[in-house]
C-alpha cells in the first residue's frame, strides 16, 4: 500500500497512510520510517490517547501495534500489495504516559505465500509497554 | 468504575464511561447495558471508524472489545473497583461496514481473587466479526 | 481426515485418530464424538498427564485443545480434507486433577475458503479449566 | 523450582525437572541450560513427537514452549519459587522434522510483583517453527 510522506511537525520525513480514517485521523496519526535497524514506528502520546487511569488506552496501543504490523511487513506487501490482520495477540507490560514518545520495532517471523507472521514490542520513552504478535493474510493487489 | 447514563441519541438509556478520553471521545463513544441475557455493548459504525479497505479498522474493533471486557465484567469489579487488561487475544472473522450496528456479548469465564478471564464475540448487524478473550487484573479500589 | 472407531474401554464408540503419534500414543489418547449438541471431545486425566503441582500439565491441556479444534471443525474439513493450526491462544482458568473427566466443546466461528476459526472451553468434571481459540488453515486433500 | 542435572546422553550437563510427569516422562524430556546469551532449551525430535503430517505435533511444540517459559524465567522464580501459566499465545511458523534439534531462546519482557511476561521462538535446526508469548503468575514459595 503506497504510503504518504509527512512534510511537517515532529515526524517530518516519516511515512504514514493518510487514507486510513480510523488509524490516521481518529486514533493516530501514527508514523513509520526505515533506518539502519529496520522499520520503526512512532507517535507522541497526547491527552486524546489516555484512559481514565492516566495512561495510554490499551485500544490505542493495540491500534498502533496493528499499524506497526503493516509497517514492519511493508517490504513483504510492496506498494501495490495489501493485507489484513487475521489474528492478534498482546500482553500489556506497563503504562505509557502523556507526552512520552511511543515507538515500536519488530520483525517478520515468516512470510509465506498467503500468511505473514510478525511480532514486535511497543515502548514508551524506551520502556516496554506492549508485546504483540499477529498473523496477516495477503490479499490480491488492489 | 461508576458509569455515566446516556441521555440522548440512538443509545439513550445505555451506560458509558465519559471520563475515558480515548475510548469515549476519540475512538468511541461505545455503550453498554444489561438485559435479560446479560451485558451487551454496542456502537454504530461511522466513517471515522473505517480503514482504507472500507471496513471498521481492526484497532477500532479491538478498542471496542477492550471496552466490552469491562462491561461484561462490571459486576465483578463493582462501581468502586477498577482493573486493567493484562493480555488480549483476538481473531478477525469478517469486516464491519459503515452504518452497521456493532455489538458484543460475552462471559466471565472465571473471576479469581486477582485475575478475571473474559471472552466474547463482536458482531456487525448480527454477523460475527471479531472473537476475543482477555485476562484482566483487579486493582485496588480507587 | 478419516477417524478410527474406539472399540473398547471407557470411550468405546467414540472416534479418534490412531495414526497421530504424539496426540494418540504419547500425550493421549483423546476421543471425540458427535451428539445432539455438536462435537464433544474427552479424556480421563491420568498420572501421566500431571505436572509437579498436582494438576494436568498446561501442555497436555493445549494438546487436547489442539485435538479438539480438529474434532470441532471435522465437518468443515471432511474425511479427505486436512489442515494445520496457524495460531493458538489460551487462558488457564483452573487445574484439572487426576481421575477427572476432561471434556471440551466449542464452535466454528467462521469457515472461509482458506482459514477456519474455532473457539472452545475445556472442562474437568464440568469446571472450566482452559479457554482457547485458534486459526486453522486448510491444506489440499491428501 | 529446583532442577535436576542430566548425567548422560546427548543433553548431559543440561538441567531438567524430572518430577514433571507430563513434561519429563510423557511428552519430553526437555532440557535447559544457561550460556553466555542466556537460557536455552532443547530436545531432539523423535518419532513419538510427530503428527500424521510428518512434523512435530503442535501440542508438543506448545508443551516445549511452556517448559521453556519457566526456564527463561528461572532467575525470576528462583529455586524455591513456583509459578503457573495464566495465558499462552502462539503462531506456528513451520514444521519440525524427526531427528531435528528443537531449541528455544526467549526473554523476560517484564517481571512484576505478581505477573511475569515472557516471549520466545522455537527453532528446528535453526529455522523458526513456533513463536510464543505468555503471562505467568507467581505462586508462594512451596
CB–CB contact C115 A89 (8 Å): no
pLDDT the model gives residue C141: 47
Helix (H) or strand (E) holding C106: strand C101-111
Cα B67 from Cα B87, distance rounded (Å): 14
CB–CB contact B86 D137 (8 Å): no
CB–CB contact C86 A135 (8 Å): yes
User: What residues are paired with C116 via a beta bridge?
Assistant: C111, C136
CB–CB contact A133 D109 (8 Å): no
Calculate the average pLDDT of chain B. Answer: 95
Q: What is the mean pLDDT of residues D25-43?
A: 96
pLDDT the model gives residue D140: 67
Residue B141: is its pLDDT beyond 50? no
pLDDT the model gives residue A1: 79
Q: What is the mean pLDDT of residues A62-71?
A: 97
> Residue A112: which residues within 8 A CB-CB, separation 6 or more?
none
Cα distance from B45 to chain D (closest Cα, Å)? 30
Q: Using alpha carbons only, give the angle D22, D27, D31 rounded to the nearest 5 degrees.
A: 95
* Extended strands (E) in B1-142: 4-5, 15-16, 31-35, 38-44, 82-92, 101-111, 115-124, 127-139
* CA count, 13 A, side-chain hemisphere, C77: 27
Residue A141: is its pLDDT beyond 70? no
Mutate to test the interface with B, among A52, A132, A139 (most CBs of B within 10 A): A52
Task: Cell 528446528: give the residue.
Answer: D124
Phi, psi of D25, rounded to the nearest 5 degrees: -80, -40
Cα A34 from Cα B86, distance rounded (Å): 30
| Tens digits of residue pLDDT in C5-62 | 999 999 999 999 999 999 999 999 999 999 999 999 999 999 999 999 999 999 999 9
| Tens digits of residue pLDDT in A103-122 | 999 999 999 999 999 999 99
D115 touches chain B (CB under 8 A): yes
- Residues of D within 8 A of B114 (CB-CB) are 114, 137
Cα distance from C27 to chain D (closest Cα, Å)? 6
pLDDT the model gives residue A140: 67
How far is residue B25 from each of residues A52, C17, C103, measured CA to CA in Å? 12, 53, 44
Residues in D 62-101 with any Cβ partner in A closer than 8 A: 87, 89, 91, 93-94
> Residue B43: which residues within 8 A CB-CB, separation 6 or more?
B11, B28, B29, B30, B31, B64, B102
> Residue C80: which residues within 8 A CB-CB, separation 6 or more?
C2, C141, C142
| Tens digits of residue pLDDT in C77-99 | 988 888 999 999 999 999 999 99
Chain C partners (3+ C-beta pairs within 8 A): A, B, D
Domains in chain B and their CATH numbers?
A: 4-139 (3.10.129.10)
Residue D141: is its pLDDT beyond 50? no
Chain D partners (3+ C-beta pairs within 8 A): A, B, C
| Tens digits of residue pLDDT in D104-117 | 999 999 999 999 99
CB–CB contact C86 A137 (8 Å): no
C-alpha cell at C67: 485435538
CA dihedral sign of residues B72, B76, B79, B84: negative
Q: What is the mean pLDDT of residues D33-48?
A: 97
* Extended strands (E) in C45-95: 82-92
Residue D142: is its pLDDT beyond 90? no
- Residues of A within 8 A of D110 (CB-CB) are 93-94, 128
CB C135 within 8 A of CB B91: yes
The model's pTM is 0.96
Residue B9: is its pLDDT beyond 80? yes
Residue ranges of the alpha helices (H) in A19-135? Answer: 58-72, 74-77
pLDDT the model gives residue D108: 98
Amino acid at each position: 500500500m503506497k504510503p504518504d510522506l509527512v512534510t511537517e511537525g515532529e515526524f517530518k520525513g516519516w511515512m504514514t497512510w493518510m487514507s486510513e480514517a480510523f488509524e490516521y485521523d481518529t486514533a493516530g496519526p501514527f508514523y513509520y520510517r526505515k533506518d539502519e535497524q529496520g522499520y520503526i514506528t512512532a507517535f507522541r502520546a497526547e491527552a486524546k490517547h489516555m484512559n481514565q487511569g492516566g495512561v495510554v488506552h490499551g485500544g490505542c496501543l493495540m491500534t498502533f501495534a496493528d499499524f506497526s504490523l503493516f509497517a514492519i511487513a511493508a517490504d513483504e506487501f510492496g506498494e501495490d500489495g495489501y493485507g489484513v490482520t487475521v489474528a492478534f495477540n498482546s500482553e500489556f507490560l506497563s503504562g505509557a504516559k502523556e507526552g512520552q514518545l511511543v515507538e515500536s520495532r519488530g520483525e517478520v517471523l515468516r512470510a509465506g505465500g498467503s500468511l505473514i507472521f510478525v511480532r514486535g514490542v511497543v515502548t514508551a520513552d524506551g520502556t516496554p509497554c506492549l508485546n504483540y504478535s499477529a498473523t496477516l493474510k495477503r490479499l490480491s493487489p488492489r
